[in-house]
C-alpha cells in the first residue's frame, strides 16, 4: 500500500535523533514539570514531521545513487515501491504540518525549525558535496535540535551542552563516513561522490581528535564551577564512566564490526550500547533531580 511505503520513507527509526530536543528539559531540571514536558513533546513531534519531510526530499534527490547502495536500494523510492508523485506530495505535507505544530509553541521555535529545514535542503542540494563541511552540517543539525529544545520551553542553554553536542555529533558523522567507505569499498563514490575526498586513515585521525575532545569537554563540564552552582552538586562526574563506555563501545562497533553506517539504528540494535544510554540518562536525572 502507498500509505505503508510513505510511512517507511519517513524513516521513523531515525526519529531517535530528535530526542536531543529533550536535553534542555533535563539539564534545566524541568523533567518533572508536566507543562514543559508536554511542550517538549510537541517540539519533538514537530521536528519528526520536518525531518521526515527532509528524508523524503533527500530520497527523491538521491534516487539514482541510492539504487547503487546495498541497503538504501531497498528504500521505497529507490526500490520503485513508491512513485515520485506521492513522495513529493508527502514531502510538502509533512513540512507544512511540522511548521504548523512549531507555530503553536512560539515564534523562536518556529524560526529555528524553518532554519533547520532550509539548512537540510541546502545540504541535499550542495553542502553534502563539500569536504569536511558536510560532516559539520550534519553535526549542526544536532546542535539545532538542542537549541530548539531550549527555545520550545524558553530556558537558557549551557555553552557546555552545545559544545558536547557538536563534538558528539561530529563523532557519529565521521564514524558514518568511515562505515560507508568500508561497506561500499570501490563503489563508495558512486553512491556518495564526496567519499572520494576521504579515506579511512584520514577519517581515523579526525575521529581520534573528536573522541578525545568529546570526553575532555564532558569531563570539564561535570566539574566546572558553573555546573556545580547550577545543579548544587558535583556528582555529575560519576556519569563519566557511562560516556566513556559508550564511546569505546561505538568505536568497537565501527572498527571491528564495520557498523556505524546508521547510528540511530545501531543504538537500538546494540543492546550494550542501548543499556549504557539508558543508565546514563537515569544517572543524570537522578543526580540533578527536579528544581
At 128-185, the pLDDT tens digits run 888 999 999 999 999 999 999 999 998 888 888 899 999 999 998 898 888 888 776 6
How far apart are the C-alpha atoms of 145 and 218, rounded to whole Å? 19
Q: What is the 3-state secondary structure (H, E, C) of 159-226?
A: HHHHHHHHHHHHHHHHHHHHHHHHHHHHHHHHHCHHHHHCCHHHHHHHHHHHHHHHHHHHHHHHHCHH
Which cell goes with 144?
539545532
How far apart are the C-alpha atoms of 255 and 148, rounded to whole Å? 33
Do 10 and 150 sit in the same domain of this protein?
A: yes
Instruction: Tell me the whole-structure pTM to 2 decimals.
Output: 0.85
HSE of 186, CA atoms in CB hemisphere, 13 A: 0
Helix (H) or strand (E) holding 282: helix 271-288
How high is the pLDDT of residue 49?
92
Do 58 and 202 sit in the same domain of this protein?
A: no
Last residue of a domain, one of 100, 126, 157: 157
How far apart are the C-alpha atoms of 83 and 5, rounded to whole Å? 10
Do 131 and 145 sit in the same domain of this protein?
A: yes
Do 151 and 169 sit in the same domain of this protein?
A: no
How high is the pLDDT of residue 144?
93
Do 103 and 1 sit in the same domain of this protein?
A: yes
Do 23 and 83 sit in the same domain of this protein?
A: yes
Give the C-alpha distances (Å, rounded to integers) separating 286 from 16, 33, 245, 280: 22, 15, 19, 10
Cβ atoms of 55 and 165 within 8 Å: the answer is no
How high is the pLDDT of residue 189?
61
Last residue of a domain, one of 98, 125, 157: 157
Q: What is the DSSP string of 47-110?
A: HHHHHHHHHHHHHHHTHHHHTTSTTGGGSHHHHTSS-HHHHHHHHHHHHHHHHHHHHTT-HHHH
Mean pLDDT in order along the chain per 10 residues (291 residues): 77 84 85 87 93 88 73 74 83 92 92 93 88 91 93 87 91 87 68 80 92 92 86 88 93 80 75 91 81 60
Do 84 and 174 sit in the same domain of this protein?
A: no
Task: Give the structural domain span for 278.
Answer: 158-291
Do 127 and 185 sit in the same domain of this protein?
A: no
Residues sharing a CB contact under 8 Å with residue 256, sequence separation 6 or more, in sequence order? none
Number of domains forming the structure of the chain: 2
Do 138 and 166 sit in the same domain of this protein?
A: no
Last residue of a domain, one of 109, 130, 157: 157
Task: Assign residue 104 the CATH number of its domain.
Answer: 1.10.357.140
Do 172 and 276 sit in the same domain of this protein?
A: yes
Do 151 and 194 sit in the same domain of this protein?
A: no
Do 235 and 142 sit in the same domain of this protein?
A: no
Amino acid at each position: 500500500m502507498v500509505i505503508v511505503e510513505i510511512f517507511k520513507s519517513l524513516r521513523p527509526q531515525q526519529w531517535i535523533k530528535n530526542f536531543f530536543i529533550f536535553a534542555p528539559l533535563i539539564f534545566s531540571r524541568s523533567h518533572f514539570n508536566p507543562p514543559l514536558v508536554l511542550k517538549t513533546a510537541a517540539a519533538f513531534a514537530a521536528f519528526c514531521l520536518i525531518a521526515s519531510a527532509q528524508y523524503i526530499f533527500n530520497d527523491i534527490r538521491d534516487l539514482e545513487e541510492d539504487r547503487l547502495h546495498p541497503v538504501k536500494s531497498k528504500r521505497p523510492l529507490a526500490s520503485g515501491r513508491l512513485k515520485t508523485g506521492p513522495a513529493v506530495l508527502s514531502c510538502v505535507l509533512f513540512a507544512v504540518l511540522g511548521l504548523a505544530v512549531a507555530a503553536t509553541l512560539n515564534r523562536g521555535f518556529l524560526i529555528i525549525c524553518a532554519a533547520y529545514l532550509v539548512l537540510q535542503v541546502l545540504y541535499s542540494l550542495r553542502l553534502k558535496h563539500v569536504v569536511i563541511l558536510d560532516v559539520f552540517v550534519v553535526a549542526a543539525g544536532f546542535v539545532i535540535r538542542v537549541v530548539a529544545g531550549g527555545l520550545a520551553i524558553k530556558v537558557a542553554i549551557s555553552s557546555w551542552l552545545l559544545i558536547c553536542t557538536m563534538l558528539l555529533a561530529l563523532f557519529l558523522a565521521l564514524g558514518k563516513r568511515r562505515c560507508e567507505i568500508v561497506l561500499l569499498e570501490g563503489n563508495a563514490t558512486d553512491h556518495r561522490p564526496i567519499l572520494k575526498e576521504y579515506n579511512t586513515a584520514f577519517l581515523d585521525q579526525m575521529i581520534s581528535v573528536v573522541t578525545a575532545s568529546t570526553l575532555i569537554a564532558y569531563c570539564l563540564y561535570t566539574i566546572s564551577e558553573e555546573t556545580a552552582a547550577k545543579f548544587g552538586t558535583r556528582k555529575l562526574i560519576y556519569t563519566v564512566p557511562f560516556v566513556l563506555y559508550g564511546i569505546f563501545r561505538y568505536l568497537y562497533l565501527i572498527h571491528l564490526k564495520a557498523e556505524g553506517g546508521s547510528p540511530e539504528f545501531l543504538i537500538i540494535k546494540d543492546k550494550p550500547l542501548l543499556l549504557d544510554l539508558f543508565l546514563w540518562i537515569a544517572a543524570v536525572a537522578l543526580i540533578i533531580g527536579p528544581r
